[in-house]
Structure 1
Amino acid sequence: MKVDIIISADDIKEKKILNKSVVVIDMLRATSVIVTAIKNGCEGVIPVLTVDEAVKIAEKHRNEYILGGERDAIKIQGFDFSNSPLEYNEEKVKGKTLIMTTSNGTRAIKASIKAKNIIIAAMINAEAVVQKLIDYNEDVVIINAGTNGEFSIDDFICSGYIISILKKRHPISLSDIATTSLYIYEKNTDVKSFIKYANHYKKIKQLGLSKDLEYCCQKNIVDAAPEYKDGIITIK
């Protein structure tokens, strides 16, 4: 099994992901939200690129659909929820379908549609993601959503954590960038202490969302690896 990494949503190319299992990471905070919402009974998550698209879908099914997301880490006006995973508790999301648009994460998911499998990952469900990769046994491309087209420390170290688990359980061959990600994680297993240097981490901290950061840096608190297929993210 070959493992590679793409460092931002803007760097996704069809030839790199075709016929491969893609793992999309936006740990701060879109993929952490998706995993949490589905764990808490959300029927599925529909990722979209624009606010207008999200609103149009929701208007057709207002009692069944909820709106969530952000722009520049801030809740979108008129939406039900922001991009804080702590908002997506069972009481609010169970039995609902979430329509979501974010600055980076949903772009990365939508840009991955040519992959064979698209798995949604974060620190909080890394073990479950690895098990699914082993089950599929395809070459892997880990996509870091990044921040506005730029490399993001947080997604990169999360990639390294996933690779570290996979390496212990399955024979793998790493690209240079995947090797670097693994090395960074192995030297910084206390993830929060390392990603505090990330610009996006600092942005979320400045917004007073320290509890989100604490939550998103936890390891393996969710035993689920949602997948994107036919326009919606669900547990297969």
Structure 2
Amino acid sequence: MTDSNKPSLEVCLSPALLHLFDVKNSIVVIIDVLRATSTICTALYNGASRVIPVASVEECVNIGRAISGITAGERDGRIAEGLAYGNSPFEYPREFVENKTLVLTTTNGTKLLHMAKDAIQIITGSFPNISAVCDYLVAQNQNVILGCAAWKDRVNMEDTLFAGAVVSRIKEHFDVNCDSAIAAETLYHSAKHDIYTFMKQASHYKRLAQYGLEKDIHYCLTPDGANVLPLFRDGELIAG
């Protein structure tokens, strides 16, 4: 806590910077807008019993086999070799995912999740569940780190935009003494009237668009399509 008696709100723009933050005394929000955290909230919203995030494809296959789960994930935007499903939220409608376990591995998001394991609480956030995230953070009245999964440790546009959107919504409840939080909010205000068009200049937009995934991108940038709160407990994400 600072002298203002409000908890702190900070933005970590890359996993490579996370060691500079006080993870142990904070709630950490894992942000991987395109597409891991958008897919996680969508699967839970559509009735998945849990999502188990894992680092490697091999681990994903082994756990999935052991528990008869859905093995899913991507590397560099494509379905990872050896896995049955990818990282598109549209692959997980209720009739497919309800009451099932999704075992998920991704290029960036699952790595950051495991890096933040010492936090007070870990949740995942994306535009489809932004209201649930913001309501939870305000209610908890704890220090918050908005952790961007980025792209192979390089700062990316979409995660920064989401962090900025959260800062914009909840900053009055927090002490914001963090340049990256201010920068993220400034970027969000530049983009908020048409985030999808703004994102067309981003590297990850171009990466996914070449695979014909514009529909995914649009969904992942749209607020409250899957407004559930994924909580990380005992190695798995459940709907809070």
Same fold (TM over 0.5): yes
Do the aligned partners of residues 41 and 171 (structure 1) sit closer, same or farther apart at CA in structure 2, a change above 3 Å counting? same
Matched, 1:181 2:187: no
Query: Out of 87, 100, 104, which is 1:100 matched to?
Result: 104
Shift of 1:171: 4.0
The equivalent residue for 2:75 is: 71
Shift of 1:92: 1.1
CA distance in 2, matches of 1:51, 1:222: 26
CA distance in 1, matches of 2:85, 2:16: 26
CA distance in 1, matches of 2:151, 2:19: 17
CA distance in 1, matches of 2:67, 2:11: 37
Structure 2 segments unaligned to the other structure (5+ residues): 1-6
Asked if 2 retains the 8 angstrom alpha-carbon contact of 1:46 and 1:233, the reply is yes
Letter in 1 for 2:183: T
CA distance in 1, matches of 2:62, 2:109: 20
CA distance in 1, matches of 2:21, 2:201: 32
Q: Secondary structure at the match of 2:25?
A: coil
Shift of 1:14: 7.4
Shift of 1:224: 1.1
Shift of 1:67: 0.7
Asked if 2 retains the 8 angstrom alpha-carbon contact of 1:68 and 1:81, the reply is yes
Shift of 1:93: 0.6
Matched, 1:161 2:165: yes
Shift of 1:71: 0.6
The equivalent residue for 2:208 is: 204
Query: Out of 206, 209, 223, which is 1:219 matched to?
Result: 223
TM-score (normalizing by structure 1): 0.95
Residues 146-167 of structure 1 show CA distances to partners (whole Å, capped at 9, x for unaligned) of 0011000110011101111113
CA distance in 2, matches of 1:223, 1:206: 29
Q: RMSD of the TM alignment (CA)?
A: 1.3
Matched, 1:54 2:60: yes
Letter in 2 for 1:194: F
Asked if 2 retains the 8 angstrom alpha-carbon contact of 1:39 and 1:222, the reply is yes
Asked if 2 retains the 8 angstrom alpha-carbon contact of 1:23 and 1:140, the reply is yes
Q: Secondary structure at the match of 2:30?
A: strand
Shift of 1:2: 1.1
Letter in 1 for 2:238: T
Matched, 1:31 2:37: yes
Structure 1 segments unaligned to the other structure (5+ residues): none
Do the aligned partners of residues 4 and 60 (structure 1) sit closer, same or farther apart at CA in structure 2, a change above 3 Å counting? same
